[in-house]
Amino acid sequence: MSVKIYEGKDLDVLIEKAKNELGDIEILYYEVEKAPGILPFFRKKKYRLFVTKKENTEENRVEHLEEEIKELKSLLVDLKENVTKLPSQQIVPSVPEHLEEKVVCAIPQIEEFTGDAVELINILIKKGVEPSIAVDIVRASCGLDIETEKLDLNTGTFKEALINAFKKKLKFTGEFTAEKGKQKIIAFVGPTGVGKTTNLFKIASKFVIDQDLNVGVISTDTFKVGGTQQARIYTSILNIPFFIATDQKKLKEIVENLSELDVILIDTVGRSHYDYFRLGEIKTILGGLNSSIDYVLLISCNYDTKEAMEIVNRYRSFFPISSLFFTKIDESSKPGILINAGIKSGIPLSYVSTGQRVPEDIKLLSPFVISDFLLGA
């Protein structure tokens, strides 16, 4: 990996300069220095930005968009001309709404399917699963129907088909666990308003009540109104210690003094995924710890897939995300985001929040749970 260093007085300018020179970049770290001066409050800042060119991945490779959209529109014309040739029970999925936003999405070819397979594809699309992903999922649970020479489900029920496919297509963390005497640190990161604090304490409850572990909570969020008070109430109920760390040095001191705890949960401040400077601040604060950290990224089910993937890709350019934790599924009619984000990112799925109650409203994600959400069970 080749690391390049940029120096200057404006961090945003440095980032844009790096993008112009290297293309798609990954921000590794940045430093802030204050130039010497008589008046400390008026000393100018100098930034040193460390970046590397991001390797192209299957999820992020979006090249030659104008030409691809023209080709895709041509395919749409051909598809419309041939719709009448499809059997009546087959449903051609609608064109993704974000096509005009220059996001290329392959049109699923459902002519190869028949019977229940076509119906299941349609159900998944209505639940917010992207058409191409819906086709891929259903294909994983199909066999050849001899009479029609097309693919149909080889399972007795839709649920069985989805469970079989999700076992092949998605990764799952299973329950968060820890061992006594082997301290684990978990940091909850994500945009403002996704429910990091509430869901952190749902996980804290699981560690304390279900696993009988010694747990502590540290918050680096001093911005949210009432956030600290809310955290103190939860920690009081669970009878676990709570601390506030405003900088890297303070956080390191607190963690070093909590060596007897089995689990430390860190609640970070919510930041927009478009705010590189603030994300860098979070990374700087957490970067002072000597211990390894599991980073859990929280995603609201109210996001569409495009925005969810923007969040995932920008956050993991700063942090090695270990799992996706979904929230507010009770406020969404499109649980397909669970599938879309899981398959597109390749990151394991952990939990989903089903409401505001602590600790009840949380489910461990699994092929069984996701199939229930999609089928309305």
Chunk the chain into consecutive blocks of 10 residues (it has 377) and report each block's average pLDDT, rounded to whole numbers. 75 83 74 59 67 60 53 60 48 41 50 92 95 95 91 94 96 96 94 91 95 94 66 90 91 93 91 68 87 94 94 92 96 94 97 92 97 89
Question: pTM of the predicted model, to two decimals?
Answer: 0.70
Give the burial string for 306-331 (b: 16+ CB within 10 Å, else e). eebbebbbbbbbbbebbbbbbbbbee
Rg (CA), the chain: 24
Tell me, what's the pLDDT at 13? 85
On whether the CB atoms of residues 37 and 46 are closer than 8 A, the answer is no
Mean pLDDT over each residue of the chain, to the nearest integer = 82
Q: Distance (Å, rounded) from C-alpha 75 to C-alpha 95?
A: 11
Among 55, 45, 50, 60, residue whose Cα is nearest residue 15: 50
Tell me, what's the pLDDT at 64? 45
On whether the CB atoms of residues 162 and 141 are closer than 8 A, the answer is yes
Q: How far is CA 331 from CA 195, 221, 312, in A?
A: 13, 25, 21
Give the sign of the dihedral formed by CA 222, CA 226, CA 228, CA 230: negative
Q: Distance (Å, rounded) from C-alpha 139 to C-alpha 121?
A: 9
Tell me, what's the pLDDT at 95? 39
Backbone angles phi, psi at 52, to 5 degrees: -140, 150
